[in-house]
Chain A
Amino acid sequence: MPQYHQFDALVVGAGGAGLMAALHASRSVKTAVISKLYPTRSHTGTAQGGISAALGNLEEDHWEWHAYDTIKGGDFLCDQDAVEIMCREAIDAVIELEHMGLPFDRTPDGRIAQRRFGGHTNNITKKPVMRACHAADRTGHMILQTLYQQCIKQNVTFFDEFQVVDVLVENGACNGVVAVELATGEIHVFHSKATLIATGGFGKMWKVTSNAHSLTGDLPAALLRRGLPLEDMEFFQFHPTGIYKLGILLSEAARGEGAVFINGKGERFMARYMPTLKDLAPRDICSRCIYQEIREGRGIDGKDYVYLDFRPEVINRYFEEDGNPKRVDAHYLEQKLPDIIEFARVYLGVDPITQPVPIQPTAHYAMGGIPTTNDAEVLADETGRIVEGLYAAGEVACVSVHGANRLGTNSLVDLVVFGKRGGIRMAEYAKQASFRPINRDAAAKEGAAQLERIRNSNGTERPSAIRKELQALMDDKVGVYRTGAGLEEAIDHIRDLQARYQRIRIDDKGYKWNTDLMEAWELGNLLELAEVTAYSALWRQESRGAHYREDYPQRDDVNFLKHSMVWKNGRLEVRSKPVRITRYAPEERKY
């Protein structure tokens, strides 16, 4: 017998977006949060560098500048009304976090400290602006902790270590979710009026990634199976500074504090490509420039990596060259970047204070995801029709505020702004709606069947082998550089892996804490999302932001200034919808 629960509002995911939504929804309706990880384990906790808001605490700044930078950074694929909302509300959101107790670093006069970050500029001088509010290099940790603390204070209900396996979408409306309690293996049906999905990214389809093992796209895959579309899946950001081979992120905050890229010839090569912003150009551009250097033989010792150099004397030399009066020393860097300095020491055995750090681009952030309105309502199609009672926010959603390439610090802004809007909107809806009837037993059975199929599958394929092959394939063919032929090969290969996935075998047939089973189930989700990612990438015959097609190296506003929406009902289908433009006309992207 499945267990049954009823809540007005359900939030799936306990990262920044989910907790923000839960805090706001639970003020007025009966709310529960379901999370496969204990909340403080969520990947928001790993965010390092900062959260942007045009507070202007250290120099002139305006939310309109933040909006323009975001749109330009997104290569003009952002929906501009959404960006304006985000950048305007970012200011209050950061203040709200401070009032909740977030320990931001401080300016000498006690206000929230801000630092420079890639692509964030003074729109008049075009120079970097200090906009990223931060708590050392553990800003995400502090946001996650603070929001969770507030949830404890407010007595929010949590179902920790419950993994959602199905979303009850029927006749254009959502009535809740089906989850498995990891400790027991029991199936639970959660019946709700409003459900908000905040399950974060899905970078585990790549091998070299900054993403956690848990980021497997369970919910977007569940929605695909339920016949709903995903938006802009071809846009996945490769962050330029992952630790060589491991992919662990070294925040852009390092470059915000003055670090530079250095090639095998000892050159600060970004100055050649982007003369104004240099090392603080947006991520898509930096990642391509790194590979350009490597391809032309200027990697370190001719190999496939370059250096991120943040030795104080190097930083100061380039500050001087750039006419920046600021100077740093080892003590200052240890204060501002303690965690990433430690990562390099622990995982590479390299001390960034005295040695340059080997880095390579790492799969980092999903710009695409579940399509939503500006109030986090999930869209059913390209015409703007919504799925009643279903919401999404955070990295899993595509509003779209990040367009073709997200600027650093803008995800945390997205989480708190749209998490809050979603939480408020779902509560308003739940207050006036009534529960739609559901068939609990059928719902539970369908959810459980997905798991039983894997438990009972008696094939010969090891899920881990399939996952490894998928990750290598995605790094190789669906990475920073793409070609039509390569993407076609990738799709064929993924389908082959999907076929093999039907013949898997797992070792653990039990119910309690069966992580063997759940990992295998998650692999199925990664395979679905990999297929739609490659398929959308094949559809977009242009280069824009993070999506670079060597066979179509130009941006093509005539044919592709539009969002993709991909469905998988039997076969894949891509449709499109226009980009909403308010006041910032598309222009060539120069920095």
Chain B
Amino acid sequence: MKITLKIKRFNPEVDKKPHWESYTVEVEPTDRVLDALHEVKWTQDGTLALRRSCAHGICGSDAMRINGRNMLACKALIKDVAKDGVITVEPILGLPVVKDLIVDMEPFFAHYRAIMPYLVNNDPPPERERLQSPEDRARYDDTTKCILCACCTTSCPSFWARGEYVGPAAIVQAHRFIFDSRDQAGEERLRILSEPDGVWRCRTVFNCTEACPRGIQVTKAIGEVKEALRTGVIR
């Protein structure tokens, strides 16, 4: 089938401001939007810039706004997103655009690093593995799936309004450790998240959960962190 891709373009070496360009490509309905973008890049206009690697929704490189919603281009199938044969593609919002679909991810990763995204356990490690019951392991399973794609954070109205807000992805990452029975820094992370630009900026709008390509219950995780802060109990 033929589809039209409307892509928001910006080349910092040429353009003063972004503009839209349209391309018509021949694709299969079951192709990925990423395939269509490659078709443009490889056969019509090599200057189109985007990040991508794995092409099956695991590396987290190609978050973009497709028909107004954040998705991974490699996980969005043409048949599911094309509206009357048209697909609009633009960079994710809330991070500085560097070129075409590429944004500066550093502010996003700075928030991630701020919540101590690593296991802290100061006891001398045992000879073998630390034990963890299947129930304790299941407690934080959902948030271990995060691939740091930024679909959630860049769909969040609170983040758009204020870039200092840590954002849902960083809270998801904090949740992964706070609720890990082996970790000992939960309280410190909670303290970080109780600051003005922490978890309370979340207005529970659920955009993030809808955007997450890994199906993580983002808003639920945020709620659990809020609950831990409110009650002072991690469980």
- Give A contacts to B, CB under 8 Å: 37-38, 40-43, 45-46, 94-95, 98-101, 103-112, 135-136, 138, 141-142, 145-146, 149-150, 152-153, 183, 212-214, 248, 339, 343, 346-347, 349, 462, 464, 506-508, 510-516
Asked if A508 and B59 sit within 8 Å, CB to CB, the answer is no
Partner-binding segment picked from B17-25, B42-50, B87-95, B203-211: B42-50
Among A99, A135, A145, A510, contact of B13 (Cβ-Cβ < 8 Å) = A510
Shortest Cβ distance from residue B66 to the other chain A in the assembled complex, whole angstroms: 15
**Contacts of A513 on B, CB cut-off 8 Å?**
49, 98-100, 102
**Contacts of A141 on B, CB cut-off 8 Å?**
58, 145, 147
Interface residues of B in 10-46 (CB under 8 A from A): 11-14, 30, 41-43, 45-46
- Further contacts, 12 of them, CB under 8 A, given A98-B129, A106-B134, A516-B47: A40-B60, A40-B148, A46-B58, A101-B177, A149-B117, A153-B118, A346-B77, A464-B42, A508-B47, A510-B11, A510-B14, A510-B47
Asked if B43 and A464 sit within 8 Å, CB to CB, the answer is yes
Q: How far is the CA of A515 from the CA of B109 in the complex (A)?
A: 22
Q: Considering only CB atoms, which chain A residue lies closest to B32 in the complex?
A: A347
Shortest Cβ distance from residue A389 to the other chain B in the assembled complex, whole angstroms: 29
Q: How far is the CA of A156 from the CA of B187 in the complex (A)?
A: 25
Given contacts A149-B117, A510-B13, A512-B99, contact A45 B54 (CB under 8 A): yes
Given contacts A40-B147, A141-B147, contact A45 B58 (CB under 8 A): yes
Asked whether B83 is an interface residue with its Cβ less than 8 Å from the other chain, the reply is no
Given contacts A41-B61, A112-B129, contact A213 B53 (CB under 8 A): yes
- Give B contacts to A, CB under 8 Å: 11-14, 30, 41-43, 45-47, 49-61, 75, 77, 98-100, 102, 105, 109, 113, 117-119, 121, 125, 128-134, 137, 140-141, 144-145, 147-148, 177, 180, 182-183
**Contacts of A153 on B, CB cut-off 8 Å?**
118
Given contacts A40-B60, A101-B119, contact A212 B54 (CB under 8 A): yes
Shortest Cβ distance from residue A107 to the other chain B in the assembled complex, whole angstroms: 8
Asked if A512 and B42 sit within 8 Å, CB to CB, the answer is no
Q: How far is the CA of A515 from the CA of B117 in the complex (A)?
A: 31
Asked if A43 and B133 sit within 8 Å, CB to CB, the answer is no
Asked if A149 and B119 sit within 8 Å, CB to CB, the answer is yes
Q: How far is the CA of A582 from the CA of B34 in the complex (A)?
A: 49
**Contacts of B128 on A, CB cut-off 8 Å?**
95, 111
Given contacts A37-B61, A106-B134, A512-B13, contact A507 B47 (CB under 8 A): yes
Given contacts A40-B148, A343-B56, contact A110 B46 (CB under 8 A): no
Given contacts A45-B147, A101-B183, A105-B137, contact A347 B129 (CB under 8 A): no
Q: Considering only CB atoms, which chain B residue lies closest to A508 in the complex?
A: B47
Q: Considering only CB atoms, which chain B residue lies closest to A464 in the complex?
A: B42
**Contacts of A107 on B, CB cut-off 8 Å?**
134
**Contacts of A38 on B, CB cut-off 8 Å?**
61, 105, 109
Q: Considering only CB atoms, which chain B residue lies closest to A99 in the complex?
A: B125
Q: How far is the CA of A86 from the CA of B47 in the complex (A)?
A: 45
A-B residue pairs in contact (CB < 8 Å), sample of 23: A37-B53, A38-B109, A46-B54, A46-B59, A95-B129, A100-B119, A101-B121, A101-B180, A101-B182, A112-B129, A152-B113, A212-B53, A212-B55, A214-B53, A343-B57, A346-B75, A462-B42, A462-B43, A506-B46, A508-B49, A513-B99, A513-B100, A515-B41
Asked if A110 and B132 sit within 8 Å, CB to CB, the answer is yes
Which applies to chain B's interface (DSSP): helix, strand, loop or mixed? loop
Among B51, B55, B59, B183, contact of A45 (Cβ-Cβ < 8 Å) = B59
**Contacts of A42 on B, CB cut-off 8 Å?**
59
Asked if B140 and A103 sit within 8 Å, CB to CB, the answer is yes
**Contacts of B60 on A, CB cut-off 8 Å?**
40-41
Q: How far is the CA of A516 from the CA of B47 in the complex (A)?
A: 6
Q: How far is the CA of A100 from the CA of B46 in the complex (A)?
A: 43
Shortest Cβ distance from residue A55 to the other chain B in the assembled complex, whole angstroms: 8
Shortest Cβ distance from residue B159 to the other chain A in the assembled complex, whole angstroms: 19
List the 7 closest pairs (A to B, CB-CB), nearest first.
A101-B119, A507-B46, A464-B42, A110-B131, A516-B46, A149-B118, A508-B47
**Contacts of B75 on A, CB cut-off 8 Å?**
346
**Contacts of B131 on A, CB cut-off 8 Å?**
109-111
Among B41, B49, B50, B118, contact of A152 (Cβ-Cβ < 8 Å) = B118
Asked if A515 and B50 sit within 8 Å, CB to CB, the answer is yes
**Contacts of B12 on A, CB cut-off 8 Å?**
512
Given contacts A462-B42, A464-B42, A513-B98, contact A346 B133 (CB under 8 A): no
Q: Considering only CB atoms, which chain B residue lies closest to A243 in the complex?
A: B56
Among B11, B54, B148, contact of A43 (Cβ-Cβ < 8 Å) = B54
Among B105, B130, B180, contact of A99 (Cβ-Cβ < 8 Å) = B130
Q: Considering only CB atoms, which chain A residue lies closest to B56 in the complex?
A: A248
**Contacts of A512 on B, CB cut-off 8 Å?**
11-13, 98-99
